[in-house]
Amino acid sequence: MALNLLSPAEFKSISFLDSNKSNCLPKLPGGISLRSVDNRSIGRRVHCSVQTPPPAWPGRAVPEPGHNTWEGPKPISIVGSTGSIGTQTLDIVAENPDKFRVVALAAGSNVTLLADQVKTFKPKLVAVRNESLVNELKEALADVEQKPEIIPGEQGVIEVARHPDAVSVVTGIVGCAGLKPTVAAIEAGKDIALANKETLIAGGPFVLPLAHKHNVKILPADSEHSAIFQCIQGLSEGALRRIILTASGGAFRDWPVDKLKEVKVADALKHPNWNMGKKITVDSATLFNKGLEVIEAHYLFGAEYDDIEIVIHPQSIIHSMVETQDSSIIAQLGWPDMRLPILYTLSWPDRIYCSEVTWPRLDLCKLGSLTFKAPDNVKYPSMDLAYSAGRAGGTMTGVLSAANEKAVEMFIDEKIGYLDIFKVVELTCDKHRNELVVSPSLEEIVHYDLWAREYAVSLQSSYTYSPVPV
């Protein structure tokens, strides 16, 4: 695919990003209007007139009066138990059997691992999303004395999410497939340990009012938003001034911009700090992961987009920071380990002791130094795209996320080039402006997620891409 991209230095926006071209910002459909206001500290400030949904945590996190620590093992359900989030959650349960117990598990198609989890943690209910594998699961559990109830398909996943005995539900399913189970859990009054980004990035306008209606707590399980959540503990009302999201910078943080046109898939998959899945590694290289986290931070903590900043922090020790009204900066530090934010979502507002054997403590003297630098908007066009989509609101953020997911998939399959990822996302968002829904239903959120993926593929199919030879 060749979308006639210029060099990275000449990367210019089309109509979706017209707000960067002049002070005449576009009037978007659905009654959205944008206006610019000069601000010396951060340059142009852009505000959206749309009424945003109430945040999960309005800049502060304070336990409700009369909160009592859970007595005995806290019952939890895990949606996506065989994935990275699910397996790490079960590691926590295994280490703290006096603190947590599993009542229900849902997985996609890894029946072998799911059967092992059932034998170890003895849940009452199990769901396998791939209905054709139910008999295989039953055979794997034939020798289990106390067999769990098994419900296949999407309905089974939903039943796991709203299991009557569960107090908290860990949502580890990737993509919009995690939306319906999360909604079911909220409607059943379960607190959400949130690891599914689409719940807020795509579903925020629908999910947040629902959570407030049912008095449900949404606790972030990813490291950056958990860091912010930890930093705002006990802040007074209105004390939050700014959110600072830290980013590793990905595979190309030290590359010159002009070299990006030569990027191959293997280059994008070389993360400088750790090994991750292909999709998240490419997202780290493009910085789309951080752009999506900006949107999620807006929905979680109610900060204006002008007050959410991205900073490159190569060591990945500070997971994020907040600035208070008196200019104090509060940061959360630690070795990169997803188990810590997952643990905190399950134990909040309490803290659980962790042994040094399995949870190494941070030694700042051995670490030596921490460094920071501003991200390059030319190298990372994803930032402007994410902020623009966030300010448009409604279904636009879900379209951005879905288009990016599809574009990354096409890049990994060598159907488009690296720089084409940004253009595919931008073209998809621009096309969606005429159908933007400001306050979408769950059905509309899912509809436009599917639409964005199909439209992104249609862009790819019109061109022929020749990979850069090694």
Residue 182 has what pLDDT? 96
**Cβ(136)–Cβ(109) under 8 Å?**
no
**Cβ(1)–Cβ(410) under 8 Å?**
yes
User: What string of DSSP letters covers 266-319?
Assistant: HHHT--SS----HHHHHHHHHTHHHHHHHHHHHHHH---GGGEEEEE-TT--EE
Q: How many CA atoms lie within 13 A of 315 on its CB side?
A: 15
Round to whole Å and give the CA distance between 378 and 216.
40
Cα–Cα separations (whole angstroms), residue 137 to 83, 112, 350, 461: 17, 8, 37, 39
Round to whole Å and give the CA distance between 113 and 431.
42
Three-class DSSP category at 421:
helix
Round to whole Å and give the CA distance between 359 and 411.
36
**Cβ(222)–Cβ(245) under 8 Å?**
no
Question: Helices (DSSP H) in 2-83: which residue ranges?
Answer: none
Strand-by-strand arrangement of the 43-48 sheet? 27-28, 32-39, 43-48
Cα–Cα separations (whole angstroms), residue 313 to 164, 250, 372: 43, 10, 5
How would you write the pLDDT of the chain (470 residues) with one tens digit per residue? 444 443 444 434 444 665 433 333 333 333 323 333 333 233 333 334 355 899 999 999 998 876 666 778 999 999 999 999 999 999 999 999 999 999 999 999 999 999 999 999 999 999 999 999 999 999 999 999 999 999 999 999 999 999 999 999 999 988 788 899 999 999 999 999 999 888 999 999 999 999 999 999 999 999 999 999 999 999 999 999 999 999 999 999 999 999 999 999 999 998 877 677 899 899 999 999 999 999 999 999 999 999 999 999 999 999 999 999 999 999 999 999 999 999 999 999 999 999 888 889 999 999 999 999 999 999 999 999 999 999 999 999 999 999 999 999 999 999 999 999 999 999 999 999 999 999 999 999 999 999 999 999 999 765 544 443 32
Three-class DSSP category at 233:
strand
Residue 46 has what pLDDT? 35
Cα–Cα separations (whole angstroms), residue 51 to 28, 30, 387: 14, 12, 17
Round to whole Å and give the CA distance between 121 and 116.
9
Spell out the long-range contacts of 333-340 with Cβ–Cβ below 8 A and sequence spacing 24 or more.
333/362, 333/364, 334/362, 335/360, 335/362, 336/223, 336/273, 336/274, 338/84, 338/85, 338/88, 338/221, 338/222, 338/223, 339/88, 339/91, 339/92, 340/223, 340/226
Please provide the size of the chain in residues.
470
Report the relative pairing of strands 191-194 and 218-220 from DSSP bridges.
parallel
Residue 196 has what pLDDT? 87
Kindly state the tokens that stand for 346. Answer: 């399950």
Kindly state the tokens that stand for 163. Answer: 């299991």
- 453, containing H or E segment: helix 442-460
Instruction: Give me the residues paired with residue 28 across strands.
Output: 32
Report the relative pairing of strands 43-48 and 74-79 from DSSP bridges.
unpaired
Report the relative pairing of strands 318-324 and 240-247 from DSSP bridges.
antiparallel
Q: What is the pTM of this model?
A: 0.88
Round to whole Å and give the CA distance between 397 and 299.
11
Round to whole Å and give the CA distance between 49 and 51.
6
Residue 16 has what pLDDT? 61
